Chain A
Amino acid sequence: GQQVMQIPQYQHVQEGEDFTTYCNSSTTLSNIQWYKQRPGGHPVFLIQLVKSGEVKKQKRLTFQFGEAKKNSSLHITATQTTDVGTYFCAGFTSGTYKYIFGTGTRLKVLA
C-alpha cells in the first residue's frame, strides 16, 4: 500500500539553528498537507501544497512540493523553542478519501 516516509525521525537543534524535514511518498500525490503536533496535543494544520514545484512561506517556515509531486520539505529558519513538536506531512491521492500521514519528525530545540 501507499507509504509516506519522513526523515529524519528526530532532530535536536540549538535555538537559532535551521531545521529541515523531508517527506517522500511511494506514489504520486494530488496534494500534500503539513501538520504540527505539540507534545501531548493533536495535529494542527499548517499548510496545503497542490501544484508541482510549489513553494509557500509562512514567516520562518518554507514549504516545498517536488516537481514529481512525490516529495515535499519543510524548512524552519532560526528555530525558536516554540517550534518544538512533531511535524507530519500528509499526502492525498485523487480518487481516495484519506490523507496518509508520514512517519513524522520530532523536533527539539535547545535554548
Chain B
Amino acid sequence: EPEVTQTPSHQVTQMGQEVILRCVPISNHLYFYWYRQILGQKVEFLVSFYNNEISEKSEIFDDQFSVERPDGSNFTLKIRSTKLEDSAMYFCASSATRGGAAGELFFGEGSRLTVL
C-alpha cells in the first residue's frame, strides 16, 4: 500500500537553529499538508500546498516557517530559527483531492522535533 514517508524521525536542535523536515507524499496525490501535534494534544493545521504554492496557512505558520516542493517528489517544511515552543511532532499528509471523495488524508509517521 502506498504511504507517506518522513525524515528524520527525530531531530534534536538548539534554539535559534534552522531545521528542515522532509516528506515524500504518495506519488499520485496533489494536495500536501503539514500538521503538528504537541505531546498529548490535538493535531493542529499548519499549511496546505497545491500546484506548487501555498493554498492556506494557519496563524501558527508565521514568517519563520516555509514549505517547498523542490523536485516533484519531496515536500519540505523549514523552520528558520527554532524556538522552544516549536518542539512537537510534525506530520506530513497528502490527499488525492480537496475535501471531496478521495479527500482522506494519508499521514506519515511524523518527525519529532525537540528544541533545547
B104, closest chain A residue (CB): A45
CB distance from B60 to the nearest CB of A (A): 11
Contacts of A94 in B (CB 8 A): 99
B91-A42 in contact (CB<8A): yes
Give the CA-CA distance A97 to B32 in the complex, in Å: 10
CB distance from A34 to the nearest CB of B (A): 10
A92-B103 in contact (CB<8A): yes
Partner of B33, one of A1, A41, A88, A98: A98
CB distance from B5 to the nearest CB of A (A): 12
- Is B45 interfacial (CB-CB < 8 Å)? yes
Partner-A contacts on B (CB < 8 A)? 31, 33, 35, 42-45, 48, 50, 55-56, 58-59, 91, 98-101, 103-110
Partner-B contacts on A (CB < 8 A)? 1, 30-31, 33, 35, 37, 41-45, 48, 88, 90, 92, 94, 96-104
